[in-house]
């Protein structure tokens, strides 16, 4: 376990560069100069996002290995590009690490990052490593392409549009809560899908790429806070309300098990804070079947869970008995909550 202090900055940078994989033809100047130089697609637009993780807050040591953490950091950023209908291309990693940190762990993180980016057509082209005394942090900037007119935004949903989600909302947040409350008890196989959703989320870039040509998506956001908060952002940007249908949510036996184990109502998990990195979409009702087919083709769970309403103040859910109530819960608040 060589440390950063033992190896020094330049050897560490060399080892990190070694796991990036071969550069593609778009990379004119790779890392190792003052900046990277890349060739954008002619006529395309460039999409830019950054998202980062902090030790002890974004991940729990002992619950995720460095390679999985790197993969998850990639997905957190890929998810933002998927939600814009964009194709990821290049990334830079800013790592804040302790001088006594294990270089092998840092290399593992970068390997997981590089592998996950590569699966969606992106590659690390640079970064920076700074030393910290306390908690470590990793910030990724992801750059991609999108064609003019093909950009998905939070704004654009209209009354009557269907509201769809990929995956199973709330699973990642349930995984976090289980680990915090049950400790090793959370490793019970019946909670496996929840721990997987938390620790190993899947990028929805490929699905976004399949949905784009259908011209069905009117608005999009990634689920990084939880359904109530992210749906609110989409509704506010679009000037619409939302009426959800409880019966339309995907069945989720694992989430039910977790609610029981935690002594919580199912709603607290389904509508609780959860960085699932799934997509929340407003789609043209005429394209529902085409979207469902594209999701099935991509082997991604896809559920139409409600409809946009003309009343921008509406934010309700109709239960199986036909009763309408406010959508429970609120999103993750990065500063006022733990």
Question: Crossing angle of helices 171-182/192-199, nearest 10°?
Answer: 110
| Under rule CB under 8 A, residue 17 binds a copy of itself | no
| Under rule CB under 8 A, residue 110 binds a copy of itself | no
The site that binds a copy of itself (CB under 8 A) totals a number of residues, namely: 75
Sign of CA dihedral 51, 55, 56, 62: positive
User: Which of the residues 158 through 217 are near a copy of itself (CB under 8 A)?
Assistant: none
CB of 173 to a copy of itself, least distance (A): 17
Q: Phi and psi dihedrals of 55, rounded to 5?
A: -55, 135
Which tokens is 319 given?
């239960």
| Under rule CB under 8 A, residue 242 binds a copy of itself | no
Segment near a copy of itself (CB under 8 A); pick from 60-68, 92-100, 184-192, 251-259: 92-100
DSSP 8-state secondary structure symbol assigned to residue 190:
G
Residue among 14, 18, 61, 130 that touches a copy of itself (CB under 8 A): 130
| Under rule CB under 8 A, residue 235 binds a copy of itself | no
Which tokens is 323 given?
């009763």
Sign of CA dihedral 326, 328, 332, 337: positive
| Under rule CB under 8 A, residue 128 binds a copy of itself | yes
Q: Phi and psi dihedrals of 299, rounded to 5?
A: 55, 40
User: Which of the residues 20 through 59 are near a copy of itself (CB under 8 A)?
Assistant: 28-29, 32-40, 42-54, 56-58
Instruction: Output 9 or 188, the one with its CB closest to a copy of itself.
Output: 9
The position carrying tokens 């990334």 is 91
Instruction: Output 40 or 239, the one with its CB closest to a copy of itself.
Output: 40
Q: In which element (H, E) is residue 43 found?
A: none
Which tokens is 221 given?
């956001």
CB of 184 to a copy of itself, least distance (A): 25
CA–CA separation, 170 and 154 (whole Å): 20
Segment near a copy of itself (CB under 8 A); pick from 140-148, 184-192, 246-254, 281-289: 140-148
Instruction: Output 130 or 247, the one with its CB closest to a copy of itself.
Output: 130
């Amino acid at each position: 376990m060589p440390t950063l202090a033992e190896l020094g900055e330049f050897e560490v940078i060399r080892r990190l560069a070694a796991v990036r994989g071969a550069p593609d033809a778009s990379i004119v100047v790779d890392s190792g100069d003052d900046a990277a130089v890349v060739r954008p697609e002619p006529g395309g637009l460039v999409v830019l996002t950054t998202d980062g993780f902090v030790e002890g807050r974004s991940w729990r040591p002992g619950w995720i290995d460095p390679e999985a953490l790197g993969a998850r950091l990639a997905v957190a950023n890929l998810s933002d590009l998927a939600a814009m209908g964009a194709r990821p291309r290049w990334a830079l990693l800013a790592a804040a690490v302790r001088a006594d940190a294990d270089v092998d762990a840092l290399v593992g993180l970068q390997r997981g990052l590089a592998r996950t980016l590569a699966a969606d057509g992106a590659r690390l082209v640079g970064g920076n490593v700074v030393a910290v005394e306390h908690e470590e942090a990793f910030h990724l900037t992801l750059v991609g392409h999108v064609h003019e007119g093909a950009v998905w935004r939070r704004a654009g949903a209209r009354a009557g549009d269907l509201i769809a989600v990929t995956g199973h909302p709330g699973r990642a947040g349930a995984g976090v809560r289980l680990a915090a409350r049950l400790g090793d008890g959370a490793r019970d196989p019946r909670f496996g899908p929840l721990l997987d959703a938390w620790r190993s989320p899947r990028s929805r870039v490929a699905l976004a790429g399949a949905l784009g040509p259908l011209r069905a998506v009117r608005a999009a956001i990634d689920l990084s806070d939880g359904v109530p908060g992210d749906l609110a952002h989409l509704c506010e940007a679009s000037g619409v309300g939302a009426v959800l249908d409880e019966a339309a949510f995907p069945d989720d036996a694992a989430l039910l098990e977790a609610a029981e184990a935690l002594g919580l109502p199912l709603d607290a998990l389904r509508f609780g804070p959860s960085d699932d990195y799934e997509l929340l979409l407003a789609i043209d009702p005429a394209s529902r079947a085409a979207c469902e087919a594209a999701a099935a083709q991509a082997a991604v769970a896809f559920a139409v869970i409600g409809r946009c309403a003309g009343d921008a103040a509406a934010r309700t859910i109709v239960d199986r008995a036909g009763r309408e109530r406010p959508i429970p819960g609120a999103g993750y608040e990065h500063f006022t909550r733990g």
